[in-house]
Amino acid sequence: MSNIAVLTSGGDAPGMNAAVMSVARNAAYLGMPLIGIKRGYNGLLGRGQKFEDDFIRLDLDTVLDIADMPGTYLRTARCDEFKDPAVREKAAKILRDLDISGLVVIGGDGSFQGAMRLCELGIPCIGIPGTIDNDLSYTEVTLGYDTATNVCVDTVRAIRATSRSHDRPHVVEVMGRNCGDLALATAEATGAEVVVVPEADWRIDDVAKRLNHQIEIGNTRATVVVAEGCWASMEPFDVYEFLHPYGKQVFPGEPMTTNRLASILKRKCGMAEVRSTVVGYTQRGCSPTARDSMFAFEAGAMAVQLLRKGISNQAIGVENGHTFYMPMEKALAAKRHFNRSLYNLLNAL
């Protein structure tokens, strides 16, 4: 086989480098030269002046040190032009000119869409699901999700030390885009008293009621975990109307935020303080957990094996704890499963 290539695309996720390392080791073992493409699909647009602007030869020596590093050594970036068929034709030509006969795409659903379109142009592609959001339904877990969950759990535990010390509730926002898995897992692992996610409609008054119940039973240090996408499923609430009379800096029509939710809960629950923390990008910045690294190792090996066998247009994932693959189109069409009974249980106790 001629060259194969690998790129990382979409948001960076811990474990992406481990997956690149695994692809490199397996390619080297099979004697297949590997080219890294820089900044997602941007590297395929032919904008660079020289080869090194967009590509890097990933021999073992180059990647041996990166497997444990968070972020992505190959860099990642949005590339909206790639949605244009003419741009993709050009990209496919560049891949052919480089004698690249297979591409491993590490990214989320958008990146997989790009990979499917490249397959249609005769470039064999394999997808590895790299995103902390766990928003790809065909797989039990995505690469980076376990690491991000552990960061969130550590953060909530650290916050709870202060919550306990000051008898003060706390609202913690975690990532996940429109998927609540990270919030649910964080709430479950930390025993948080309230959790809100994009998949379930919710009202501020219900959250206040639950928090009040906790206060009534003597728990003045409860944790409310909110998913970053939860505002979409919140019953509309006039932030200005509620907070303005308290002299808060807020203007008509302003959206809800985690900080404002804490401010509202403080007043609805009659607490001296309700504080808030947005966990933010630290969720992406840790070395991958053993679990993510193991998935990266297996996925990288499977991707190279599939390309070598001439199998293309497949998405790699985890099913019943085992690494597997399935057609990319079917994978992207898989229906989301929301664990409502867990959600209900977490909010009921």
- Active site (catalytic) residues: 133
Binding site for ligand ADP (CB under 6 A): 9-11, 40-41, 78-80, 82-83, 107-111, 113-114, 117, 131
Helix 204-216 and helix 258-268: axis angle, to 10°?
50
Backbone φ/ψ region at 71: left (φ over 0), alpha (ψ -120 to 50), beta: left
Q: Is 213 exposed, middle or buried (0-12, 13-18, 19+ CB in 10 A)?
A: middle
Indicate the residue among 75 and 78 with the shorter CB distance to ligand ADP.
78
Shortest Cβ 32–ligand ADP spacing (Å):
25
Indicate the residue among 78 and 96 with the shorter CB distance to ligand ADP.
78
The position carrying tokens 């919710």 is 202
CA dist 296 and 239 (Å) reads: 43
Q: In the numeric block, which tokens belong to residue 51?
A: 């080869």
Shortest Cβ 243–ligand ADP spacing (Å):
34
Shortest Cβ 137–ligand ADP spacing (Å):
13
Indicate the residue among 19 and 261 with the shorter CB distance to ligand ADP.
19
| Cα end-to-end span (Å), the chain | 58
Shortest Cβ 107–ligand ADP spacing (Å):
4
Strand order across the 223-227 sheet: 194-196, 223-227, 170-174, 275-278
SS3 of 154-167: HHHHHHHHHHHHHC
Shortest Cβ 129–ligand ADP spacing (Å):
9
- At CA 268, angle to CA 265 and CA 270, rounded to 5? 100
Indicate the residue among 85 and 191 with the shorter CB distance to ligand ADP.
85
Indicate the residue among 112 and 343 with the shorter CB distance to ligand ADP.
112
